Amino acid sequence: MTEYFGIPYPPAHTNLIQMMVTLKVVGLAFEVHNTAAAERKKGQDCNAAIAELETTEVHPSFLDIFHYTFCYIGIMTGPYYTYRTYHDWLTYPFMSYAPCKDATIQKMKYVPMFAIFFLIASAVFPLQYAVSEEFYSERSLFYRIWYITPTFFIFRMRLYVGMVLSECVCTMAGLGAYPEFTEPSAGHGPTKEFTKLIEIASNHLLAKKEKYNFETIHNIDPYGSDFVPTFRGGMKCWNMCIQYWLAVNVYKRLPRNQFRALITMTVSAIWHGVYLGYYLCLMSAPMYLPVEDVYVKIRKDTTGWEAKAWDFFLWFFKMQAFSYMAIVFLLLRIDLTIKFWSSIYFAGHVVAIILFVLGKFILKSRKKNKHVSKTE
């Protein structure tokens, strides 16, 4: 967009800062709104609800907003954390007793492996080759389809390194540490035992005895992202804190209909930037969900080796769908993305439609067979 007006393209890190600031400012606005809404009905609630309000309400000043927005932790690569999490970090004693070093070492131990895989794979399968003339003129259709797999592998390794290191910044600072009994969730923070949380937060002796974790800032699950068999499951392991932001600030605020997922993914694409590659990638996700739902139903009644075979099929479908989406996320420009997808005849879309029709046929046949067996 800047180049269109003759303005020099800004450094990459400025876009990252802008993206995180957007999440924080919008998220804070909803936190303030939720606080005001909860306080209006405070007199009608029980003690447990009042305790929950006390651990989630926010009343930031202008300086508080400024400091939260530009806090060095997560300013470029995340993870996203709420203002309330930031407030608790500064006011509660938990960071003094949380196992900050141990948590950091635990997260760091796989980073060298991810980094080595990234360096080797990116040297052997560079993304730039996918935009070269040789790639389209001398490589076969099947090679071009296959190339999305190592490209997505490189993309994952790069983001695993970045996201895990970003979590390490949080753990070293003690941000996001909460007692385990509160069962914190990614992005949100404590989900239960709010009365006990308030009691411990004001008593250093009690706080010292508790066990803590950093689930609040847990942003990426590399193992789950790679090996969970379903598309939905894989999505839930990826960028979890930002998915929380999208869920509470977009998805759950929309009417219950079939367009909620599409609208949420559109907002995610807008947040990423103006390149059409973002939109083609993220807005393709809702297309794969109904396909997966059909095969999850097919797999549900199976056992033994048949169930394992369907799990492998779902996993393979998930990884190829993500790879097909990721290539346009990386190519970004509309001319490059359309050129690539058209060179493989939009295989990801065509296969998804075929699988959906085939899956519906299998389900219909099973229901018919069950009905026949019952009548006999």
- What are the catalytic residues? 239, 272
Cα four-point dihedral sign 341, 342, 347, 350: positive
Token pair belonging to 25: 């400012």
Long-range contacts of 270-277 (CB under 8 A, 24+ apart): 271/19, 271/22, 271/23, 272/19, 273/15, 274/1, 275/332, 275/333, 275/334, 276/332, 276/333, 276/334, 276/337, 277/328, 277/329, 277/330, 277/331, 277/332, 277/333, 277/334, 277/336, 277/337
Helix (H) or strand (E) holding 287: helix 285-300
Residues near 203 by Cβ (< 8 Å), separated by ≥ 6?
Answer: none
Bridge-partner residues for 178, per DSSP? 213
Could you tell me if 110 and 161 are in contact, meaning their C-beta atoms sit under 8 angstroms apart?
no
Long-range contacts of 151-155 (CB under 8 A, 24+ apart): 151/125, 151/127, 151/323, 151/326, 151/327, 151/330, 152/319, 152/322, 152/323, 152/326, 152/327, 153/117, 153/121, 154/118, 154/121, 154/122, 154/125, 154/127, 155/326, 155/329, 155/330
Bond before 79 cis per omega within 30 degrees: yes
Grouping H, G, I as helix, E, B as strand and the rest as coil, residue 189 is: strand
- Rg (alpha carbons) of the chain, rounded to whole number: 24
How many C-beta neighbours within 10 Å does residue 367 have?
10
Residue 121: closest CA among 148, 96, 152, 154: 154
* Chain-centroid distance, C-alpha 8: 31
Task: Quickly tell me which residue has 């996001």 as its tokens.
Answer: 176
